[in-house]
Structure 1
Amino acid sequence: MTAREPRLLVVDDQALVRSGIVGLLEAAGLEVMGEASDGFEAIEQARRLRPEVVLMDIRMPGLDGIEATARLMAMPEPPRVLVLTTFDLDEYVYRALQVGASGFLLKDAPPDRLVDAVRTVARGEALLAPALTRRLIERYLAAPAPGVLAAPATELTPREREVWQLIAEGLSNHEIGARLYLSEATVKAHLTRLFVKLDVRDRVQAVVVAYESGLVRPGAQRATH
């Protein structure tokens, strides 16, 4: 049985850009429930339509995409937020991740990548290239004191700590399994418990917390394979 496509809300203050995104998504068979031109309208539409994924522009007049994302995350059953931006290195993007966005994509990405990104986020996975995750965090995150871990992190088992370290280094579930000689199912089980203990929604937020807690140091040597 083919999985049902996610319901979407597209938010962008430029009507031409917004209509172009909507056209690409609908051409791929995705269901666009509504559109919004600013953060206030996005929140209103999200509450009324209950989309599963919101494609969110960052820089908009009135209520910007960061504050709109934060307010969406406060909803009882918040949608996933995929940030669309013109800039590949932007402090606004990092701030959006901090408040709960599941990832981001450049507006000039190929149509098929946009569609894949929406489906990835809808499945509950984070979408952010590992190298870009590190660049964003290292540029905009003040380095914590060495060896100082946040309270929830001290409750992790040694194996959970290893898995956390490796996702912060940018490794996929498959790569983590190969490194630790674990099945992908076991890695996913560790991730589930890890997210609960850290009180984060997904992989991206877990990486942010890894830097904020001191588990990973900005500028440190990390895995690239």
Structure 2
Amino acid sequence: MKVSASQLISVLLVDDDPRFRQGVQTLLDFYSTNGAMQFNVVGHAASVEQALSLTVEQSPALTLLDLELPPDNGISFLARRRDLTQSGKVIVLSAHQEDEWVFRAMQAGASGYVFKQNLSTQLCGAIATVLHNEVYLSPEVAAGFFRLFHFYAGRSLEACHSANLTEREQEVLHWLVQGASNETIAQQLHITVATVKAHLTAIFEKLGVTSRTQAIVRALKLGLVSA
């Protein structure tokens, strides 16, 4: 999704603090006035359910998401949003600076992560980056993210090799742990349901289990995938 400076970009603001949402909208209005990019805020949401509803209704090109959304959180929104097959991008705007939060958000489908304290200096660049189909991680975010990425990827790769899983079986296992049905797995991987079943049979045999639930538990214990 590449955009030009004259293209109107629809935006959904998701934060439980209305004052913060208004502050972000004011910043977007400033960008529009100065011609950097043209924005149209199509909705404000204060919860995961509101955000999902507006995502379906408005199909925003860009969602600016806080991670603190009582009683749930933004990670839950990202996970559930994947099932909506939305093509828009998501940038997390968060006060959380812990490496684990950054990693979980990016793993769940965010295209960028900006600390709220850096909003005024980084938001415009972050938006331009993700709307050109690239990932935005500022230097202070990137170091921690890649530290965890290499840690988890190394564990997962070593475990998959020890379990003798093929690359396709690893992909099927990933979707299985996400709770996807055989039909959904087939759609995501562009294969038939019969092929999915065949891969599951092979996975069960290699993991020494006899059910989907056992396979999920076994995969998580071995570090083959993360929840």
TM range, smaller chain: 0.5 to 0.7
- Written as runs of structure 1 = structure 2, the 5 A alignment for 1:6-21 is 6-21=9-24
Instruction: Classify the secondary structure of the residue corresponding to 1:108.
Output: helix
Give 2:48's match in structure 1, choosing from 39, 48, 51. Answer: 39
Note if contact 2:99-2:148 (Cα within 8 Å) is conserved in structure 1.
no
Note if contact 1:39-1:60 (Cα within 8 Å) is conserved in structure 2.
yes
RCO greater where, 1 or 2, for CA within 8 Å and sep 6 or more? Answer: 1
- Contiguous gaps of at least 5 residues in structure 1: 154-195, 197-211, 214-225
**What is the TM-score when the length of structure 2 is the normalising length?**
0.59
The structure with the largest alpha-carbon Rg is 2
Deviates more, 1:109-118 or 1:78-87: 109-118
**1:130: Cα distance to partner?**
5.7
Percentage identity across paired residues of the two chains: 26
**1:53: Cα distance to partner?**
0.8
Give 1:24's match in structure 2, choosing from 17, 22, 27. Answer: 27
Tell me how large the CA RMSD over aligned residues is. 2.9
Does 2:83 match 1:74? yes
Q: What CA distance in whole angstroms lies between the structure 1 residues aligned with 2:157 and 2:81?
A: 34
- Written as runs of structure 1 = structure 2, the 5 A alignment for 1:105-120 is 105-120=114-129
Partner of 2:101: 92
Structure holding more helix per residue: 2
**1:39: Cα distance to partner?**
1.1
Note if contact 1:73-1:79 (Cα within 8 Å) is conserved in structure 2.
no
Note if contact 1:40-1:62 (Cα within 8 Å) is conserved in structure 2.
no
**What is the TM-score when the length of structure 1 is the normalising length?**
0.60
**1:152: Cα distance to partner?**
4.0
**C-alpha distance after superposition, 1:51-103 (max 9, x if no partner):** 01100000110331001011112212342110011132242221111111112
- Contiguous gaps of at least 5 residues in structure 2: 33-38, 169-188, 190-222
Partner of 1:184: none
